[in-house]
Structure 1
Amino acid sequence: MSDEKPVPVGTMPDGSPILEARLEGEGLAVAILSLGAVIRRLDVDGRPMVLGRDDPHDYVAKTPQCGAIVGRFANRIAGGRFTLDGTPYALPRNEAGRNHLHGGAEGFSRRNWTFAEVGGRSVTLAYHAEDGEEGYPGALDATCTYAITGPGTLRITLTARTDAPTLVNLTNHTYFNLLLPPGGFPAPAIDDHVIAIPAEAYLPVDEGQIPTGEIAPVAGTRFDLRRPTRIGTQAFDHAFVLGRETLAEPRPVGRVTAAGSDVALTVLATAPAVQFYDGTHLAKAGLGYAARSALCLEPEAFPDAPNHPGFPSAVLHPGETYRQVIAYRFEKETAR
């Protein structure tokens, strides 16, 4: 435990302080909020790489999970309904009144976490979710550790334990743009970013962005991103399948470069899928961002997993420990 203390930077609606801790080293400068365990700032050699808000109160009401840990179940659950061990559960339908998205209207991303450990290169935050919170069964204790572990590398370790069978699917929802100007605003379009995702399959979705249940090959489709592909104006908000198991250690799940930037981002993770979202709806947040001005790569379980018997399970039982590891690795390369 370090003598360094997080500093108050704002106030939650209930009057509790929003705290911020900072990590520095290996070319990175990172600011983490207690609110949502948010990555508020991530600079590489002094240059911003992620969308972040100067006013921490924006994270309470406005940001679309910007930089936050989302859960208890990231992504969508169709109709906000699932059945677990024969018992049906109803969750808030916080996406246009149709589906449950990112854990609900509050979810983990708008809760005030507690700094459990703070050091110069790592912090651990904790959050206790009560039984029934946002409709989920079981009390859940979650932790999130951010650590600078090597040159240009920020590693996130997420864990959870429960006292009753429940769903758990946690991820980080940071928006990346490798062409942000000093200060991070305004954010240019991501059209000239180039992405590669080493997935041989993806999950087709219906008009409500709910998986159909099919696990489809990417070959011969626009979803074949196994080779570096300019994003352009194609629309992406889809899960790419990396396997069926959660691994012990992370492997590369996506790589991003951009014309005009000498920084490349590699995302590594242990999860069986990664959601690639192109920021289409960013303008709706009312924060001055244009649509498609940043992208997300969200390692996670399969969306709507509890409603598809053929998908890997996202159920956590008492006595088990949920664990997910995500790493963001920034490397210098010749400007494109």
Structure 2
Amino acid sequence: MADHIATTPDRSAAFTPIEISNGGLTATILPFGASLQDLRLDGVDHPLVLGLADPKDYQTGTAYLGAIVGRCANRIAHGRYDLAGQTFHTDQNFLGRHTLHGGAGSVDKMVWTVTDQSAASLTLQLHVPDGHLGFGGGLDVRLRYSVEAPASLRLEISARGQEATPCNFAPHFYFNLDGAGDVRQHELAIAAEHYLPVNEDLIPTGEVAAVADTPFDFCNARQIGDHLLDHNFCTAKGQVVCRPICTLAAPESGVSMTLSSTEPGLQVYSGEFLDEPAGTTLTGKPFKAFEGLALEPQGWPDAPNQPSFPSVILQPGQTYRHVSEYAFSRK
């Protein structure tokens, strides 16, 4: 991977959907935010993900629908972290006092450059400059989407930088495998015996707690239910080989999905605050609370401030690599 990406994004193409397909799966991607706008399975007449019909609506969306988020996904407490003897102050875009998904106008609102395209794959790249939204060190990022037979969407994200910096990218896809309605009826299983408790601001307390005998126990598949979820499930203690970490199954359509990832955490958000009006969505129907389930493989939240958590600091000369794969089937 080159030390610096010198391409200039084409804003005129930022909102032009790009379709890739293989086997029985078709994905539609926007260079704006490297966003997954649509995902379709042959024989199923509805999208599998929440998306907006007009690509330009992604400019003003606040739910991170389908976007790639970073440079440091999830929350950083008080919008600050210390690294190499220096304190960095990052954009406080969450509750006015914390950083969420890299800050307002981070990579989810930037135009990625298309560098390679085929019938079944798409490669995009982005340069995140030194000092962007308060983070130290520039990052050169590459993302490859590919659709693999019979019906899998695969993401490969790599990054390099010249200075030590937080580096933790995540796909922020919302799933509704029935195409509409309340996802709390979906059945979910997560390969995690521990999760991260959070405070009233949804910042991890530092405790790593067992899921046993709590509403966070999804070791065996069960309905998502009414307990509100916006928590990290600890699937490993660091990046590992890509392996299954989660399954999701819909009661009406019979569609199921297996998520595999290299990442040590899975942020699960049950969509309590979703609110998109009718006419703007792919289905033409409004997105209401609990309309979609966000499954976000990533490093653990607030890791730059939590020494006991797996590190998300990318050192000079290292290459960050994230692989996640979503495999679909239907009864």
Give me the TM-score of the superposition, normalised by structure 1.
Answer: 0.90
Specify which of 290, 293, 301 is matched with residue 292 of structure 1. Answer: 290
Distance in 1 of aligned mates of 2:64 and 2:277: 10
Specify which of 24, 32, 35 is matched with residue 35 of structure 1. Answer: 32
| 2:194 equivalent in structure 1 | 201
CA shift for structure 1 position 284: 7.2
CA shift for structure 1 position 268: 0.6
Mapped pair 1:265 → 2:263? no
After superposition, the C-alpha distances for 1:117-165 in whole angstroms (9 at most, x for unaligned) are 0000001000001110111111110011001123110100011000111
Retained in 1: the 8 A contact 2:13–2:31? no
**Stretch moving more, 284-293 or 228-237:** 284-293
Distance in 2 of aligned mates of 1:18 and 1:262: 32
CA shift for structure 1 position 274: 0.4
Retained in 2: the 8 A contact 1:18–1:112? no
| 2:94 equivalent in structure 1 | 95
Residue identity opposite 1:24 in structure 2 = S
| 2:248 equivalent in structure 1 | 256
Residue identity opposite 2:70 in structure 1 = G
Distance in 1 of aligned mates of 2:39 and 2:166: 30
CA shift for structure 1 position 63: 4.2
Matches within 5 A, 1:305-316: 305-316=303-314
| 1:78 equivalent in structure 2 | 77
Mapped pair 1:232 → 2:225? yes
Residue identity opposite 2:30 in structure 1 = L
Retained in 1: the 8 A contact 2:20–2:147? yes
Distance in 2 of aligned mates of 1:168 and 1:132: 14
Retained in 1: the 8 A contact 2:22–2:148? no
CA shift for structure 1 position 20: 2.4
| 1:158 equivalent in structure 2 | 157
Residue identity opposite 1:259 in structure 2 = P
Mapped pair 1:115 → 2:98? no
| 1:125 equivalent in structure 2 | 124
Distance in 2 of aligned mates of 1:316 and 1:42: 31
Retained in 1: the 8 A contact 2:32–2:112? yes
| 1:3 equivalent in structure 2 | none
Distance in 2 of aligned mates of 1:158 and 1:307: 24
Residue identity opposite 2:315 in structure 1 = H
Task: Percent identity, please.
Answer: 40
Mapped pair 1:304 → 2:302? yes
Residue identity opposite 1:19 in structure 2 = T
1:109 match: secondary structure: helix
| 2:20 equivalent in structure 1 | 23
Q: 1:17 to 1:257 in 2, by over 3 A?
A: closer
After superposition, the C-alpha distances for 1:74-97 in whole angstroms (9 at most, x for unaligned) are 000001110001100000110120
CA shift for structure 1 position 19: 3.0
| 2:5 equivalent in structure 1 | none
Distance in 2 of aligned mates of 1:284 and 1:86: 43
Residue identity opposite 1:74 in structure 2 = A
Unaligned runs of 5+ in 1: 1-10, 181-186
Q: 1:246 to 1:129 in 2, by over 3 A?
A: same
| 2:212 equivalent in structure 1 | 219
Residue identity opposite 1:18 in structure 2 = F
After superposition, the C-alpha distances for 1:313-333 in whole angstroms (9 at most, x for unaligned) are 110011100000000100122
Distance in 2 of aligned mates of 1:144 and 1:327: 13
| 2:235 equivalent in structure 1 | 242
Distance in 1 of aligned mates of 2:98 and 2:253: 37
Q: 1:285 to 1:61 in 2, by over 3 A?
A: farther
Retained in 1: the 8 A contact 2:17–2:28? yes
Unaligned runs of 5+ in 2: 1-9, 281-285
Q: 1:111 to 1:327 in 2, by over 3 A?
A: same
Which of structure 1's runs of 4+ aligned residues deviate more than 3 A? 284-288
After superposition, the C-alpha distances for 1:287-334 in whole angstroms (9 at most, x for unaligned) are 63101100011000010001111011110011100000000100122x
1:97 match: secondary structure: coil
1:256 match: secondary structure: strand
2:111 match: secondary structure: coil
Retained in 2: the 8 A contact 1:62–1:285? no
1:103 match: secondary structure: coil
Distance in 1 of aligned mates of 2:89 and 2:244: 35
1:30 match: secondary structure: strand
Q: 1:285 to 1:298 in 2, by over 3 A?
A: farther
1:59 match: secondary structure: helix
1:191 match: secondary structure: helix
